[in-house]
Amino acid sequence: MEKVLRPVFILLLLMFCVSSLAFSCVGKSLEIGMTGSVQQEVLANIIAELIDERTGTSVKIVSFESSDEAHAALLKADIDMYVEYTGVGQTVILQAQPMADAAELYKAVKDRYNEELNLIWLKPLGFDAAQSLGVTLPAEAAPVVRKDTLKKFPALARLINKLGGKIDHQTISSLVKEASTGQPKQVAHGFLKNNRLI
């Protein structure tokens, strides 16, 4: 009897370990914020589709009027992440002095968000939105995520960072133009497929 039960026990133990590992990497649901523009809608959908397709986690997109509102929701854990721009993070959210060097600005914003707000800036997506935002300082777009969200979803940062540097000026302009017809989810899905991210 023991010889029969041992393989069954080992099989059950292996199944438990595998399922535990899977659940430690993905969760049941996430909420992504966006701030109204077509560009923001495209980016939110790209991240949502990537997470949904690669992990099976359901993702809800929540719209806000401004970065201030999205940031407040992020701090209150009403959302898990949203795409912010370095120049906005520095001058609007942190109320700090503008910085002309893009790399220095990203590091400064990333460090202060981490130390003071428990928020993590992931890799920049690959384009500077200064022109579309009407600002004169660097405004690199990058996902900002709650630190506790990354603890609940250990594989999330690595997954989203696959988008790092993948969306240049020409790409975002093309995606926004395409999504202006009212199909941002399909546009996001097509982008991910074309780049072999899903």
pTM for this prediction: 0.85
**What does the CA dihedral 55, 61, 62, 65 come to, rounded to 10 degrees?**
130
How many Å apart are CA 43 and CA 192, to the nearest integer? Answer: 11
Answer yes or no: are the C-beta atoms of 126 and 167 closer than 8 Å.
yes
What is the pLDDT at residue 24?
A: 42
- pLDDT tens-digit map of 102-136: 999 999 999 999 999 999 999 999 999 999 898 89
Place of tokens 């968000």: 113
- pLDDT tens-digit map of 57-104: 999 999 999 999 999 999 999 999 999 999 999 999 999 999 999 999
Domains of the chain in sequence order: 28-194 (3.40.190.10)
